[in-house]
């Protein structure tokens, strides 16, 4: 088996992290961990797209402020979102006027950005790199599904796109948690074609990357204080547990899914949250907080992404998915 | 990829799909049917009441005009409900009971019109207004044309 994992000897560290969420996410179980909760889904702007941009920008400037730095100190911005042509990320990069690489890996963009960013920092190419992703319920809904006010029923296993953005600043300096390894995932497709069941499609990618992480690093589930996936949802998380159990791997209590954690059951969000903002906001609030408090010492984060588009699905294609893992 | 590998992958995918289907929660058919019946039924009862009210208030109206006015009223109400943001809440429970009646059509069009207003009245609302109802309109016209032709042929052959 080929090695898919990068080992970072120089220990790129998380200088600061910022998370911004919408009201529904703020009302969820993780509400108290987020840095900022906005009651206005448009964030004071005229359209949802512009609102998403503003949320995104606030996440980045917030992280910079927390580190007591200026926007000019950023050497590179690695960002991605779910909208066509990456408009949110690119318009934010326009405002910030810093070197920028736009990334798309659907909902696994956060760990993709961290993988690339950590590598740049580790090799000394840049001193301060911002990694940010976000997603917005209203903009994703119109791009992937129906108009917001259209009355349609969703199956009970569907997921709710989170309105959230998160930004992580990486540098060699500081005392924050270090990214020690990053595992680049393979695109996996087990023939799932139900667009409402992306958790089932992505669980296979998460399982594939978990094996690769354990295989490449010689760690196993006992070495971690916690293992998180990005947005598999309740059903996808159960499927991942089953897939791992098949290979003799018991994930147990250590494992949680960021999307599933996002909402309470009574919030009517079906199987939980999905979207690029899920892993980004949970990493920069809950996970980072627990690491800074010393409760978690070693964490595996596997953001998961479904790489289809409405066009490919209408043409009868199945859902390919990917998961990149990072070890903190 | 060799044929053998393709076969193996297909078998693996089939196994996985079967497994996924077995763990995926289903929508309860009975509850869904009941909810659709109740909500669809209530919509129709309200429409009937409006129709009866109209013919009592304005006895000079022909039956045809009464049904047209009733449709107009119920469609307007559905559009208002969409605009105020509670049609989708009803439809989440109603399912077919709320999208099959004429109110569903009104909701589908007005929700698209609202949604795409952000791109302007021409390029947004006007262009995208039919995104959801387009298939209904197209199929409605195509199949009613087909039905018309069949009816015509029946008349030619059987004379009725």
pLDDT of residue A89: 95
pLDDT of A179 higher than 80 = yes
Under the banding of pLDDT at 50, 70 and 90, the label for residue A210 is very high
Is B22 in CB contact (< 8 Å) with chain A? no
The alpha carbon of A315 is separated from its chain's Cα centroid by a whole number of angstroms, namely 28
Is B132 in CB contact (< 8 Å) with chain A? yes
Tokens of B68: 């047209």
Output the CA torsion sign for B133, B138, B141, B142. negative
Q: Which domain does B51 fall in, by range?
A: 25-129
Report how many Cβ contacts below 8 Å link chain A to chain B: 90
**Model-level ipTM above the cut of 0.95:** no
For residues B118 and B74, membership in a common domain is answered with yes
Give A265's contacts (C-beta < 8 A, 6+ positions apart). Answer: none
Q: Which of A211, A159, A209 is nearest to A322 (CA)?
A: A209
pLDDT of residue B10: 92
**How many independent structural domains does chain B possess?**
2
pLDDT of residue A175: 86
Q: pLDDT > 70: what percent of chain A?
A: 100
Interchain contact, A149 vs B115, CB within 8 Å: yes
Is A7 in CB contact (< 8 Å) with chain B? no
For residues B107 and B140, membership in a common domain is answered with no
Under the banding of pLDDT at 50, 70 and 90, the label for residue A178 is very high
For residues B29 and B64, membership in a common domain is answered with yes
Interchain contact, A151 vs B87, CB within 8 Å: yes
Is B90 in CB contact (< 8 Å) with chain A? yes
Euclidean distance between the first and the last CA atom of chain A, given in angstroms as a whole number: 24
Give A69's contacts (C-beta < 8 A, 6+ positions apart). Answer: A128, A169
Mutate to test the interface with B, among A41, A48, A149 (most CBs of B within 10 A): A149
Query: Is B48 within the bounds of a domain?
Result: yes
Give A288's contacts (C-beta < 8 A, 6+ positions apart). Answer: A14, A17, A168, A176, A177
For residues B78 and B145, membership in a common domain is answered with no
For residues B104 and B32, membership in a common domain is answered with yes
Query: Is B16 within the bounds of a domain?
Result: no
Is B86 in CB contact (< 8 Å) with chain A? no
For residues B91 and B77, membership in a common domain is answered with yes
pLDDT of residue A265: 87
For residues B86 and B34, membership in a common domain is answered with yes
Query: Is B116 within the bounds of a domain?
Result: yes
Is B81 in CB contact (< 8 Å) with chain A? no
Q: Strand pairing partners for A20? A: A36, A165
For residues B76 and B109, membership in a common domain is answered with yes
DSSP secondary structure string, B119-131? G-IIIIIIHHTTT
Q: What is the pLDDT of residues A79-96, one digit of tens each?
A: 999 999 999 999 999 999
Query: Is B7 within the bounds of a domain?
Result: no
pLDDT of residue A146: 87
For residues B143 and B106, membership in a common domain is answered with no
Q: Which of A110, A94, A218, A93 is nearest to A162 (CA)?
A: A110
pLDDT of residue B1: 77
CA-to-CA dists, residue A58 to A313, B20, B34, angstroms: 34, 39, 47
Under the banding of pLDDT at 50, 70 and 90, the label for residue A39 is very high
Q: What span, in angstroms and rounded, lies between the C-alpha atoms of A187 and A129?
A: 26
Interchain contact, A147 vs B116, CB within 8 Å: yes
Return contacts of A309-316, CB within 8 angstroms, 24+ apart: A310/A143, A310/A144, A313/A193, A313/A195, A316/A193
Is A218 in CB contact (< 8 Å) with chain B? no
| Mean of the per-residue pLDDT values of chain A | 93
Nearest residue in chain B measured CA to CA from A271: B25
Return contacts of B114-120, CB within 8 angstroms, 24+ apart: B114/A147, B114/A148, B114/A149, B114/B82, B114/B83, B115/A142, B115/A147, B115/A148, B115/A149, B115/A150, B116/A147, B118/A46, B118/A47, B118/A48, B118/A49
Query: Is B151 within the bounds of a domain?
Result: yes
Helices (H), chain A: 23-26, 48-66, 87-96, 109-122, 137-144, 198-217, 233-246, 258-262, 276-282, 288-292, 310-314
Interchain contact, B23 vs A49, CB within 8 Å: no
Under the banding of pLDDT at 50, 70 and 90, the label for residue A128 is very high
For residues B50 and B112, membership in a common domain is answered with yes
Give A209's contacts (C-beta < 8 A, 6+ positions apart). Answer: A4, A183, A185, A186, A302, A323, A324, A325
For residues B125 and B153, membership in a common domain is answered with no
pLDDT of residue B25: 86
Query: Is B14 within the bounds of a domain?
Result: no
Query: Is B19 within the bounds of a domain?
Result: no
Interchain contact, A191 vs B23, CB within 8 Å: no
pLDDT of A314 higher than 80 = yes
Angle at B42 between CA B38 and CA B44, to 5 degrees: 120
pLDDT of residue B101: 78
pLDDT of residue B95: 85
Angle at B95 between CA B89 and CA B99, to 5 degrees: 90
The domains found in chain A, sorted by start residue, are: 6-171 (3.40.47.40), 181-327 (3.40.47.40)
Is B92 in CB contact (< 8 Å) with chain A? yes
For residues B79 and B40, membership in a common domain is answered with yes
Interchain contact, B88 vs A152, CB within 8 Å: yes
Interchain contact, B114 vs A149, CB within 8 Å: yes
Number of neighbouring beta carbons within 10 Å of residue A115: 27
Q: What span, in angstroms and rounded, lies between the C-alpha atoms of A274 and A258?
A: 8
Q: pLDDT > 90: what percent of chain A?
A: 84
Q: What span, in angstroms and rounded, lies between the C-alpha atoms of A168 and A162?
A: 18
Under the banding of pLDDT at 50, 70 and 90, the label for residue A57 is very high
Q: What is the pLDDT of residues A262-300, one digit of tens each?
A: 999 888 888 899 999 999 999 999 999 999 999 999 999
Query: In chain B, which residues have pLDDT < 50?
Result: none
């Amino acid at each position: 088996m080929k090695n898919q994992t990068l080992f970072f000897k120089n220990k790129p560290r998380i200088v600061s992290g910022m998370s911004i969420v919408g009201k529904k996410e703020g009302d969820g179980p993780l509400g108290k961990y987020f840095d900022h909760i906005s009651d206005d889904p448009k964030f004071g702007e005229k359209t949802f797209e512009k609102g998403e941009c503003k949320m995104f920008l606030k996440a980045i400037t917030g992280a910079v402020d927390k580190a007591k730095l200026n926007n000019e100190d950023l050497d590179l911005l690695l960002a991605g979102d779910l909208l066509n042509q990456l408009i949110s990320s690119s318009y934010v990069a326009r405002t910030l006027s810093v070197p920028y690489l736009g990334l798309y890996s659907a909902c696994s963009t956060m760990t993709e950005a961290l993988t690339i960013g950590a590598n740049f920092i580790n090799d000394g190419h840049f001193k301060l790199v911002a990694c940010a992703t976000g997603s917005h319920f209203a903009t994703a809904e119109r791009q992937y599904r129906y108009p917001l006010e259209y009355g349609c029923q969703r199956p009970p296993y569907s997921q709710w796109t989170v309105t959230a953005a998160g930004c992580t600043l990486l540098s060699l300096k500081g005392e924050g948690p270090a990214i020690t390894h990053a595992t680049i995932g393979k695109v996996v497709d087990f023939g799932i074609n139900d667009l409402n069941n992306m958790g089932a499609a992505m669980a296979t990618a998460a399982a594939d990357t978990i094996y690769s992480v354990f295989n490449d690093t010689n760690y196993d589930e006992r070495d971690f204080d916690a293992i998180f996936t990005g947005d598999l949802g309740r059903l996808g998380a159960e499927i991942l547990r089953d897939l791992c159990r098949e290979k003799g791997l018991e994930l147990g209590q250590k494992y949680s899914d960021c999307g599933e954690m996002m909402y309470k059951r009574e919030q009517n969000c079906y199987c939980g949250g999905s979207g690029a903002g899920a892993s980004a906001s949970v990493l920069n609030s809950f996970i980072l907080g627990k690491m800074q408090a010393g409760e978690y010492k070693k964490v595996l984060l596997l953001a998961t992404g479904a790489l289809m588009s409405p066009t490919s699905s209408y043409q009868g294609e199945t859902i390919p998915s990917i998961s990149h893992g990072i070890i903190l | 990829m060799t044929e053998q590998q393709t076969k193996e992958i297909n078998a693996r995918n089939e196994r996985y799909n079967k497994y996924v289907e077995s763990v995926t929660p289903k929508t309860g058919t009975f509850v869904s049917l009941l909810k659709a019946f109740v909500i669809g039924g209530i919509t129709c009862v309200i429409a009937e009441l409006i129709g009866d009210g109209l013919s009592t208030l304005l006895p000079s109206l022909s039956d045809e005009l009464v049904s047209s006015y009733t449709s107009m009223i119920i469609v307007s109400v559905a559009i208002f409900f969409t605009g105020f943001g509670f049609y989708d809440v009803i439809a989440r429970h109603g399912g077919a009971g709320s999208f099959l009646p004429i109110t569903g059509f009104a909701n589908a069009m007005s929700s698209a019109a609202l949604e795409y207003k952000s791109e302007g009245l021409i390029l947004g609302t006007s262009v995208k207004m039919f995104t959801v109802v387009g298939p209904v309109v197209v199929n409605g016209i195509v199949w009613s044309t087909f039905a018309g032709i069949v009816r015509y042929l029946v008349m030619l052959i059987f004379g009725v």
